[in-house]
Amino acid sequence: MSDSLPMAGANVQVNAAGLSKADYRGAPSTLCVGCGHNSIANQIVSVCYEMNIVPENILKFSGIGCSSKSPTYFLNRTFGFNGLHGRMPSVATGALFGDRSMRGLGVSGDGDSASIGMGQFKHVMRRNVNMVYIVENNGVYGLTKGQFSATADKGLELKKQGTNMYLPVDICMEALASRATFIARLFAGNAKQVKEVLKAAMAHRGIAVIDIISPCVTFNNQENTYYSYDFGKANEEMMHEVSFQQADPSFHQGSEGSSISYIPPKPEIMLEADMIEGEIREVKLHDGSSIQLKNLEKGYNPTNRMEAMRVLEEAQENNWLLTGIIYIDPSKPALTELSNLVDTPLNRLTEKDLRPAPETMAKINSLMF
């Protein structure tokens, strides 16, 4: 930790990183009051504070949209890059390749990822880039005044847009097809579950795609749309209750607002068998953290790709807002591990490290002529 960390005053509670909650906040939001994106930004602040994350060890990324503006509203001390519309994945891939010690945190929208940025979205997943990729999904292009996005419900009628004729793209299905190693769907109105799943995603190695249904209260908040608060409140079906336990035990010491109940460690369980309703199972992550899933839907197993596809298909057919961790594979190597990089992050290699020895240069030159 750097010497420049602020000294907390006598009454300011700090976490194990020596930081107060205020150290994780961003600028005041300029988004509409009640926008789902604001509540997600607040959860990101809480998650990073409670996990004792040093903000300088994160890189923030986004594209263009109201959702993509939101990194300004959390983690002031973190470097961020607001890319071109739909181009967040390539910026993030380059930056995280350049510094393998950093964890990426990207926020995009349904327009940014599923419309203009669909090609980039697919490739960042198959490369298993080490980042959390949040899609704040509201079914519309909020920033440009509410046009239908590629995730809008078929048949949705909006005053200024008419009727949407097309079938929606399902972010989680696309993530599954592209072999993302952590996929979750959440509802911004369920703050507790958003927080727990975000913690698990931050501890996951590789890409964690989180499709958060995040109502646009200005342009798409009618009760008949999948993306409204009314619909989510009435129809959310949680597959499991998620609680996350961080490997570092200091996580549990006095972190203000930590709602995680202590669950005694259990031996690693391979989630092969069906789960019965009410059963608690544990998924171990590579850093020793674990996710406890209290099963609410009989028989759901999030480590089984076929099962994940089945529940997504079923949810789509029935218009269910199914939330929870849809799929997880903690065993796959992330991009930087696959690439056989040196331990020192590439951006910290010196000229001396990079310049080939004179004998090596002579050998290369002799081969060329």
Query: Which residues of this protein are in contact with ligand TPP, per CB under 6 A?
Result: 64-67, 85, 109-112, 116, 136, 138, 140-144, 149, 216
Min CB(19)–ligand TPP separation in Å: 29
The site map against ligand SF4 for 55-94 (x = CB under 6 A) is -----------x----------------------------
Structure tokens at 212: 């958060």
Work out what residue 144 binds among Mg ion, ligand SF4, ligand TPP, none; the CB cut-off runs from 5 to 8 Å by kind.
Answer: ligand TPP
Regarding 152 and contact with ligand SF4 (CB under 6 A), the answer is no
From residue 269, give the alpha-carbon distance in Å to each of 68, 123, 175, 292, 348: 38, 31, 25, 11, 39
Residues of this chain, 77-136, that bind Mg ion according to CB under 5 A:
109-111
Q: Please state the closest distance from residue 88 (CB atom) to ligand TPP, in A.
A: 10
From ligand SF4, ligand TPP, Mg ion, none, which one binds at residue 184 (CB under 5 to 8 Å depending on kind)?
none
**227 lies in the binding site for ligand SF4 (CB under 6 A):** no
Instruction: Work out whether 156 is an interface residue with ligand SF4 (CB under 6 A).
Output: no
Mask: binding to Mg ion, 143-172, rule CB under 5 A, as x and -?
------------------------------
Query: Which does residue 112 bind out of ligand SF4, Mg ion, ligand TPP, none, counting CB within 5 to 8 angstroms by kind?
Result: ligand TPP
- Look at residue 85 and give the partner it binds from ligand TPP, ligand SF4, Mg ion, none, a contact being a CB closer than 5 to 8 Å depending on partner kind: ligand TPP
CA-nearest of 65, 88, 90 to 150 is 65
Which does residue 31 bind out of ligand SF4, Mg ion, ligand TPP, none, counting CB within 5 to 8 angstroms by kind?
A: ligand SF4
Q: What angle separates helix 191-203 from helix 36-50, to the nearest 10 degrees?
A: 50
Helix axes 118-126, 88-98, angle to 10 degrees: 30
Tell which one of 217, 238, 260, 271 touches ligand SF4 (CB under 6 A): 217
| Beta carbon of residue 35, minimum distance to ligand SF4 (angstroms, whole number) | 3
Nearer residue to ligand SF4 within complex by CB, 131 or 216? 216
β 290-295/208-213 pair status: unpaired
Number of neighbours of residue 360 by Cβ within 10 angstroms: 10
Rounded distance between C-alpha atoms, residue 73 and residue 28, angstroms: 6
The interface region with Mg ion, picked from 138-146, 152-160, 182-190, 191-199 by CB under 5 A, is 138-146
Cβ 169 to Mg ion shortest distance, Å: 12
Q: Which of the choices ligand SF4, Mg ion, ligand TPP, none does residue 196 contact, using the CB cut-off of 5 to 8 A by kind?
A: none
- By the rule CB under 6 A, 218 interacts with ligand SF4: yes
Residue closer to ligand TPP by CB (options 149, 295) is 149
Min. distance of Cβ 118 from Mg ion in angstroms? Answer: 14
How many chain residues interact with Mg ion (CB under 5 A)? 4
Where do contacts with ligand SF4 occur on this chain (CB under 6 A)? Answer: 31-32, 35, 37, 66, 138, 142-143, 216-219
Where do contacts with Mg ion occur on this chain (CB under 5 A)? Answer: 109-111, 138
